[in-house]
Chains A and B, each alone.
Chain A
Amino acid sequence: MSESGAPTGVVAAPQRGPNGFALRVSGLSKTFGATRALQDVSIDVRPGEIHALVGQNGSGKSTLIKALAGYHHPDAGAAELDGEPFDIGVEVPDGLRFVHQDLGLVLELSAQDNLALHGGFAKGFGGRVLWREQEQTTHELLRRFDVDIDIHQPLAAATPVERTVVAIAAALQGWHGGSGLLVLDEPTAVLPHDEVERLFAVVHEVRKAGTAVLYVSHRMDEIFEIADRVTILRGGRLVATKDVAQLDPRALAGLMVGEDVDPDYRAPVAAKPDAPIVLETRSIAGKWLRGIDLRVYEGEILGIAGLAGAGVLELPYVITGHAPRGDRVTGELRLPKESDEWRDVGDLKDVNIPLVPSDRQREGVIFEFAVSENLSLSILGRFGRRGKLAHRQEERAVEEWTRRLEIKTETPGSLISTLSGGNQQKVVVARCLATEPDILVLCEPTAGVDIGTRVAIYDLIARLSREGLTVIVSSSDEGDLLAMCTRIVVLRNGTVAQELDGDGLTQQALVSAIEGGD
């Protein structure tokens, strides 16, 4: 698979710089510890084009963006912007602007203040802020994007798309177009579907001014709607750069998932049609969820699929009793193996359904703790003799689980931060399994995990399921779900839109169910 040669001239943009590229990166490599995040990756963005960058979790696209933004110093690689070479990872040329996924805004401050934080305040004598002038600048910056927003209100009160627009305006400040590159890192990740169109209008506005856009996303429909060309990364390597017109969603999905994970691979789990129900929910609603009725059968691996905003990442937290504090969740849950009683999902304190969280760094791993301390955290109560922690028993349990999950660590006493991402994830899974649950819930289990470990995690989950564990996996990665699950429930707008199992479990069916493909 090489770069598609034939330039089809989708965009008639002026040639700039000696080679006619807005951005050119070549031979970029970066390793973190034992993980090769990027291996010899090259990408060319033409002036004025919208260039999509796609790849699964762990494909290296975040690392590439972070290298461009100067956060990571690559091991090797060269880069130039508008024909001017720059030291990638060290300096960031003025023509290269970023809107990161978290937008980099201070929500407690107003749009005006946020724009001023990026672009500077209009100041008069003695450092006094010239508010009238500042206000005018703010209006000018936002005018081209056609948003109606109160620039004095804290941004917390603005809608997600308004915030995104403010972030884009902030990034583009002091820049008059005609050159350069704007990087949008998953700008639609937190946008409701109907607001995506408005964002696209803004992106087109930016391009019209002659600025190229590098658009990072893993939503298929968006790429086909907005991008001219697309570069696909997988496992830290460049797969291809193609004209979007030459692709269809299935071909693109194939390129993203690759052959390492056979799209037709199915977890070796036998369907058990007459298995009893182990978990049942009734009209679960929350921040995103709008009434979910689920039945989970013993020994199955149930996938939860859907776009961000559909509630895919909320459901696992709600059914394990870990909904964010302050969020109102309603609905009921029943665990028929324990009792027939319906329980309020707002109060599931004593229920043992462990959750492997989506954000390992923030919610999974305790970095200051050793591997052993991380692993045993949920079962410390077992090693007690009248309050005394029996260190020997703890050591033994840790040894046992380290071996069973094949966790690669120098010693159990090593800090967990010395482990690779995949092994850290295994430690979190081991912590959950050590509580001997009947049901395990995983949220984005392969986020930031390289392809080899990914398959190891699939195999592990399949093995546990064969031993009788019921597994619920929520993931935004279709490849994950197809490889692991015996049944997939697709959520759209907070409700169950479709259910796939048996022969219906195909990449195409899943993608179109997720996108709401009609």
Chain B
Amino acid sequence: MTASSQGGAVVTRPTETAPPPAGRPPFSRRLAAGLAFDKIGAVYVWIAIIIVFSIWVPETFPTIDTAKQILNSNAITGLAALAITIPLAARVFDLSFAYVMTLTGVAVAKFVIGGMPLGLAVLVGAGIGIGIGLINAFVVVFAKIDSFIGTLATGSLILALITMITNDTPISDVALTGGFADIGQTDINGITLPVIYFALAALVIWYLLEHTATGRRLYATGFNPDASRLAGVRVDKLRFVSLVISGGIAGATGIVLASTLGSGSPTAGTPYLLPAFAAVFLGATQLKNGRFNAGGTIIAVLLLGTGTTGLALAAAPTWSQSMFVGIVLIAALAVTGLQRRTAVASRGSGVHGGGVSGTDQPGVSTSTNLADED
């Protein structure tokens, strides 16, 4: 241990005397860039949708009540979407989150009926979510099973557990109407608590992804795990943690959902599987050029929620809502995919173009191509 001081550090750290960074571009330019269609296209689409429905159903749509209803009825979808945002940033799928939601809802309902104090029941419920996150993480990171398949499998196991507990009948009891119901049903001026939870969770995830080193490393892991590993990023650790976090958020969301429903339904979480993924993927096309991010997720949840609510108010056929979600998702990804491809085509070398979309999943062993040359 004699030495790093002595001739060791060759390259000196940038000092305080370093010239100040060249000024950021002027505010007007940054504003223009921030409002560009390829950044927040969904916001313009959202505004367009609001205008269309305001004309289509002028009596019921453009009201404060409708706005509140859109928020209240989409907060759970938003929370579910935020749960999978972090693993997806690291390109890890968590397909089990919807079952985790159901399981914790059912479990906490059971606990409360069984007389467990509410606070403890909620803690244990969240613990169950984290526990399942740990199991997912072991399956994906240590057993090296592709996350898509691995969490599909654990999801099936959770479903088995749910059926075992509930015998496929909803759990309801007068005990669920008291403090338990307050978790999700309390409203403040027409805004229910889940909306607040959604906003807080989004804030935390935004901070994590944008303003911490961990967030940057999560994205790096997702985009190019090999390069990240070589750069010293603990790729496996991040994938592990991301699944634990999604388990925890999904677990908490499940409790809130059960509270809003006032019962422990054995199918409560399943309907959120597709809308949550739709919102996250649509969100990734917004603000951050293909990065899964909290702000984009909020925009996406609001856009999709406004569209479906508007269609319901306009008494459009019920199938139109699913159709709306599908069309928006395909359109958004097609448009951004097109931009991505043009960006790829203009890449410097072009020789190895493409192939960088980071399909590497934890399950696939990434052999370094030692023998490749040129």
Contacts and interface: CB of A to CB of B under 8 A. Distances in A.
A377 B370 contact: no
A503 interface: no
B347 A417 contact: yes
Interface stretch (A75-83, A171-179, A261-269, A432-440): A432-440
Interface residues of A, number: 89
A288 interface: yes
B14 interface: yes
A24 B171 CA distance: 79
Nearest to B12: A436
Interface stretch (A5-13, A149-157, A462-470): A462-470
Contacts of A387: 212-214
B371 interface: yes
Interface string B204-229: 00000001111111011001101111
Contact of A377 (B220, B365, B366): B220
Nearest to A191: B371
A383 interface: yes
A328 interface: no
B351 A62 contact: yes
Interface in B1-29: 1-4, 7-14, 18-22, 25
Interface in A411-446: 411, 415, 417-421, 424, 431, 433-438, 444
B366 A324 contact: yes
Nearest to A357: B230
Most chain A CB within a 10 A radius of its CB, from B233, B350, B352, B373: B373
Given A377-B220, A380-B216, A417-B343, A361 B352 contact: yes
B356 A32 contact: no
Interface string A388-400: 1101100111011
Contacts of A86: none
Given A361-B352, A364-B227, A380-B213, A400 B14 contact: yes
A369 B211 contact: no
A396 B13 CA distance: 11
Given A362-B227, A363-B226, A380 B217 contact: yes
A343 interface: no
Contact of B4 (A365, A438, A467): A438
Main secondary structure of the interface of B (DSSP, over half): loop
A300 interface: no
B349 to A, nearest CB: 5
Nearest to B22: A399
A471 B369 CA distance: 22
A287 interface: yes
Interface in A11-48: 32-35, 37
Given A377-B220, A387-B212, A421 B228 contact: no
Given A324-B370, A367-B223, A421 B348 contact: yes
A33 B11 CA distance: 32
A510 to B, nearest CB: 17
Interface in A321-360: 322-327, 337-339, 354-355, 357-359
Interface stretch (A128-136, A235-243, A309-317, A478-486): A309-317
B115 interface: no
A417 B348 contact: yes
B229 A322 contact: yes
A190 B371 CA distance: 6
A244 interface: no
Given A35-B349, A362-B226, A381-B213, A324 B367 contact: yes
Interface in B112-152: none
A298 interface: yes
Interface string B353-374: 0011010000001111111111
Contact of B368 (A62, A324, A435): A324
A112 interface: no
B289 interface: yes
A72 B360 CA distance: 26
B213 A389 contact: yes
B291 interface: yes
Contacts of A138: none
Nearest to A444: B373
A272 B365 CA distance: 43
Given A35-B348, A326-B365, A361-B349, A288 B370 contact: yes
A186 interface: yes
Contacts of A189: 371-374
B15 to A, nearest CB: 9
Contacts of B352: 361-362
Contacts of A33: 346-348, 350
3 closest cross-chain pairs (CB), A and B: A400-B14, A380-B213, A324-B368
Interface of A: 32-35, 37, 57, 61-63, 66, 72, 101-102, 186, 189-190, 218, 287-288, 298, 308-309, 313-314, 317, 322-327, 337-339, 354-355, 357-359, 361-369, 373, 377-378, 380-381, 383-384, 387-389, 391-392, 395-397, 399-401, 411, 415, 417-421, 424, 431, 433-438, 444, 447-448, 464, 467-469, 476
Given A32-B348, A435-B232, A436-B13, 4 more contacts: A314-B370, A362-B369, A417-B344, A421-B349
30 contacts: A61-B374, A66-B351, A72-B350, A189-B371, A189-B372, A190-B371, A308-B373, A322-B230, A324-B367, A354-B232, A358-B373, A362-B226, A365-B224, A366-B223, A368-B224, A368-B356, A369-B219, A387-B214, A388-B211, A389-B212, A396-B20, A397-B13, A411-B25, A415-B343, A424-B348, A433-B11, A436-B11, A438-B4, A447-B374, A469-B11
